[in-house]
Amino acid sequence: MLACALPVQAKVYIDINAPGLRRIPLAVPSLRQEGGDTGDAHAEIARVLRSNLGTTELFEVLDPRGYLEDPQRAPLQPTAAAFADWFAIGAEVLIKGGISRAGGGELSVDLWAYDVLRRQTLFGRHYAAPAAAARTVAHMFANTVLEEFTGAPGPFGTRIAYVVQEGKAKELAVADMDGANAQRLTRAGSLSLNPAWSRDGRYLYYTGYHQGDPDLYLMDLGTGKHWSVSRRAGLDLGGKDSPDGKELLLVLTEDGNAEIYRMDKASRDLTRLTRDRAIDVAPSWSPDGREIAFVSDRMGNPHIFVMDRNGRDVRRVTFSGTHNGDPDWSPKGDWIAFTGKDERGVFQVYLVDPRGKQVRQLTFGPSDTLDPSWSPDGRFLAVTSAREGEYAVYVFRVGGQEFRRVSPRGGKASQPAWSPVFPSP
């Protein structure tokens, strides 16, 4: 994949988390086909862009059925009359593109963003990509749009691993963050649980009952091969890579109680971090690798605690509710997402700062929402929710109200894990 910037004439920055933010009306017509057989790529890129940018809740994506322009006849650079037509249907930002296919089969794509009100070019990108990479091109430009408008790129093109139930078995699956390209990863006919990504995005840790006992495994996503990381007596849970990728957090019960350990991945040496009669589980690294959030019932009920990387300076950070769990530290380090029961006994997703001074409730309603996992840009969370009657995986913007389903309909899904940012192919 080759991408390069086209000349930029204007730059806009918007605080996507500002209260009362007005959505910007956005139009994305199909790309103009300029040569060679590009199949459905001209329409697919536009569809993916509309879906990605709609997810941000920064834009109000206008229905293409109301567009006045024929994208196959109109030039890429809008004329004054064309700008007037886009203004007439309410568009304030316009994304247009052209696509062609060279003799070698490679796609050549130009995408531009325009300010309709000022009749100005905002920015553009050129992509040279394999014919099968139309969705990737759309994801890359959607990330660019978000970066140009907010100052930070988006998470589009990343994937979400999760657990699906098949009868009594539970298997691993993965899909793009918008639910496309869903595929099964395991068919063990047993229990495969708690997926967690390696830092390079090439592997998944998970707990598998393949030999009867719950052991910790690592799967190569490129080959589908998996091998055991820890097969000690009792439970082997966890599998959370450190930010530098050199260490691993896991939970072992070989002495009869659930305790948190740190493993050096090169030597396989273990360092025990907790020593308490209570259950200590669900460790999550801070982004700088200096601290670890975890769940403990050492105060009677499960609550969120934080300790340093060596198990010292343990402090409690949640003080309300009867059951708090599933901590996941935000990429920026400012919040820990967690699951807690509300006053009705329904699981909801909350945020707490690492010092336990502030708590924010993010989800509401009569249905359980749990298992939060941060997107790599820190703007979104993937969660398990029963909001449509069955447990499924959804994504939503932190502070937003729109939930978009990731896992396919007609099946139970849970325990989402959001991938790190993948390098461009």
Q: pLDDT band at 18, cuts 50/70/90?
A: low
Q: pLDDT band at 159, cuts 50/70/90?
A: very high
Q: 263 has which bridge partners?
A: 248, 270
Nearest to 200 by CA among 416, 422, 417, 376: 422
Q: What is the pLDDT of residues 26-49, one digit of tens each?
A: 999 999 999 888 889 999 999 999
Nearest to 281 by CA among 238, 324, 241, 239: 238
What is the share, in percent, of the chain residues with pLDDT greater than 70? 94
Q: What is the pLDDT of residue 9?
A: 46
Q: What is the pLDDT of residue 16?
A: 56
Residues 316, 311: Cα–Cα separation, whole Å: 13
Look up residue 179 and give its amino acid.
Answer: G
Q: What is the pLDDT of residues 52-63, one digit of tens each?
A: 999 999 999 999
Q: What is the pLDDT of residues 337-358, one digit of tens each?
A: 999 999 999 999 999 999 999 9
Helix runs in 109-153, H state only? 134-150
Q: 166 has which bridge partners?
A: 169
Q: What is the pLDDT of residues 96-145, one digit of tens each?
A: 999 999 777 899 999 999 999 999 999 999 999 998 999 999 999 999 99
Nearest to 388 by CA among 416, 371, 365, 372: 365
Nearest to 284 by CA among 197, 217, 193: 197
Q: 220 has which bridge partners?
A: 203
Query: Which tokens hold the place of 59?
Result: 């834009």
Residues 398, 374: Cα–Cα separation, whole Å: 9
Q: What is the pLDDT of residue 4?
A: 66
Q: What is the pLDDT of residue 10?
A: 45
Residues 292, 328: Cα–Cα separation, whole Å: 10
Q: What is the pLDDT of residue 233?
A: 85
Q: pLDDT band at 425, cuts 50/70/90?
A: very low
Report the mean per-residue pLDDT for the chain. 92
Query: Which tokens hold the place of 419?
Result: 């991938």
Length of the chain counted residue by residue: 425
Backbone φ and ψ of 91, nearest 5°: -75, 140
Q: Looking up tokens 């990479």, which residue turns up?
A: 133
Q: What is the pLDDT of residues 175-218, one digit of tens each?
A: 999 999 999 999 999 999 999 999 999 999 999 998 888 999 99
Q: pLDDT band at 2, cuts 50/70/90?
A: low
Whether the pLDDT of residue 5 is over 80: the answer is no
Q: Which string of b and e fits 333-361 if b means at least 16 CB within 10 Å?
A: eebbbbbbbeeeebbbbbbbebebeebee
Q: What is the pLDDT of residue 258?
A: 95
Helix runs in 89-191, H state only? 134-150
Query: Which tokens hold the place of 332?
Result: 């920026």
- Least trusted range by pLDDT, from 13-22, 252-261, 359-368, 409-418: 13-22
Q: What is the pLDDT of residue 149?
A: 94
Number of H helices, E strands in the chain: 3, 31
Query: Which tokens hold the place of 274?
Result: 């907790």
Residues 296, 279: Cα–Cα separation, whole Å: 6
Residues 328, 77: Cα–Cα separation, whole Å: 45
Nearest to 35 by CA among 108, 122, 135, 127: 108
Q: What is the pLDDT of residues 276-319, one digit of tens each?
A: 889 999 999 999 999 999 999 998 899 999 999 999 999 999 99
Whether the pLDDT of residue 423 is over 50: the answer is no
